[in-house]
Amino acid sequence: MNFFYGVVIMIFMNGATAALSQIILMREISYQVNMDIRVYSYIAAAWLLAVLIYRLFVSEKYMRKAKDSSVALIFGMSPVANAFLIPVFLYLSRYLRPILRLAPGTDTPLWGAAILCLVVFTPVAFMFISGFMAGIETMKRKKAGSKATSLYFFELTGIILAACAYYVFFRQHYAGIDIIYTLGLVNLTVVYIFFRGKSLEARYTMLAVIAAAIVYIAFNIAGVKDNVEKLSNGAAYSGYEIIADREYATVRFTMAKKDGVYYVFEDGKLSYRVDDPEYAKAASAAKGPKVLVINGGLSGMITALAMNKSVRDIVSVETDPYTGFLLQNILKPEIPSGVKVENITGDITGNPAYTATGVSFDSIILTCRPAGIRGYTAEYFTKIKKMLAPGGVLIVRPYGSMDVKISGAVKGAFGSADEAEGIIAAR
């Protein structure tokens, strides 16, 4: 293979791997902490720390003075190192709550989030930076310095294309750990193709690649990967019996049981308790005959509403299709005769079967999901208001510390709202 093209491919993969790994690691960390601007600043600080460490201990000055073999070894070994670092830190991030002795779904303190971001992102970022700069230096030493600046373009191209591929395709079909695992194998293959040679550094790199490939393949074939996945996922739910646990395109779904009570977690946050005694409050405040339940219907709200004598027709919506699918298959609420129930999934405010046909409800009950918390805006509640019949009532069960924000959004759409016992009601 032409030398220049080989370096370009490795730099492109360096950028693509950096983008995909950062996205997936951030998504994994979002299951442990509440992502806000401060957490993103911690991630940026981790990258800056990686740059500082590189400048202090490696730097361009060292690269210029290092032997050709040392530069080539850094260039070849950085993707091999990250093939192990990325999955290791992904798994280790899941132990934050157990280490801090936090109950499942409990908010992680900001200082814990800061430590986690620095520990996870700094070493990985350092290897990406080292690999890229070693590629630049390699080009210069091969008398191709004029082409070295083009590597910035190929690095950026790899970042952009990988990010687009993730959000357009990969996220819809593959779990994060599977993407990371496949990415590691691709990088090992690229290094193997490019670094085949008789030099000492090439032989060292080949030995590392072959050893890494053996570990990767054995990790998957022997079932170790599934066991580690199960063990690390279950670490945060110590004392609970895990009924279902899986990562989907839009949500990480976990159902766990403790003391006879079922708990549904989405993205590491508690969404529903089955049966939640608080459902009875919302159900008693509703008026029929036609009621729309958004989220939580399958986890107990339908059963609670069936006890309300005025309710005869229930439309139950689970906004996340994967959560809805699993709840329908795991939990089957008992419905008394005379009550009609329709279960659907997705955003009902964009469903023409209900919006374009002018279907209205006497009551709408919304249980706010932590996974969709950013979507509960005044604009959203304005759409909900249009689905209420004259004199109808909206009953909202906020999520945790977001009750003030959600209350403001409801008031923005309805003008006013009543708040009592953890329920927001608007007409």
Rounded to two decimals, what is the model's pTM?
0.82
Give the residue-averaged pLDDT of 289-298: 90
d(CA 299, CA 293): 11
Strand partners, 364: 292, 394
Among the listed ranges 22-26, 58-62, 153-157, which one has the minimum average pLDDT value?
58-62
pLDDT (tens digit, 9 = 90+) per residue, 218-227?
Answer: 887 777 877 8
CB 332 within 8 A of CB 308: no
pLDDT (tens digit, 9 = 90+) per residue, 135-145?
Answer: 888 777 766 55
Query: How many other C-beta atoms are found inside a 10 Å radius of the C-beta of residue 99?
Result: 12
Strand ranges of the sheet holding 388-397, from the earlier edge strand across to the other edge: 340-345, 313-318, 290-294, 361-367, 388-397, 423-426, 418-420
pLDDT at 16: 94
d(CA 21, CA 28): 10
Give the residue-averaged pLDDT of 42-52: 94
| For the chain, percent of residues with pLDDT exceeding 70 | 94
pLDDT at 329: 82
CB 343 within 8 A of CB 269: no
Among the listed ranges 181-195, 237-251, 293-307, 322-336, which one has the minimum average pLDDT value?
322-336
Q: Please report which residue ranges of 235-387 form alpha helices under DSSP H.
A: 279-285, 302-306, 321-330, 352-355, 378-385
Average pLDDT taken over every residue of the chain: 85
Angle, CA 296 vertex, CA 294 and CA 298 arms, to 5°: 110
Per-residue pLDDT band at 292 (split at 50, 70, 90): very high
Domain positions in the chain: 3-234, 238-272, 277-426
Bond preceding residue 87 cis, omega within 30 of 0: no
Which CATH superfamily, name and number, covers 277-426? Vaccinia Virus protein VP39 (3.40.50.150)
377-384: Cβ within 8 A, 24+ apart: 377/409, 378/408, 378/409, 378/410, 378/412, 378/413, 379/413, 380/349, 380/409, 380/413, 381/409, 381/410, 381/412, 381/413, 381/414, 381/426, 382/413, 383/349, 383/355, 384/294, 384/349, 384/413
| For the chain, percent of residues with pLDDT exceeding 90 | 22
Higher pLDDT, 173 or 292: 292
pLDDT (tens digit, 9 = 90+) per residue, 239-252?
Answer: 888 988 888 878 88
pLDDT at 252: 87
Q: Is the pLDDT of residue 287 over 90?
A: no
Residue pointed to by tokens 């308790």: 273
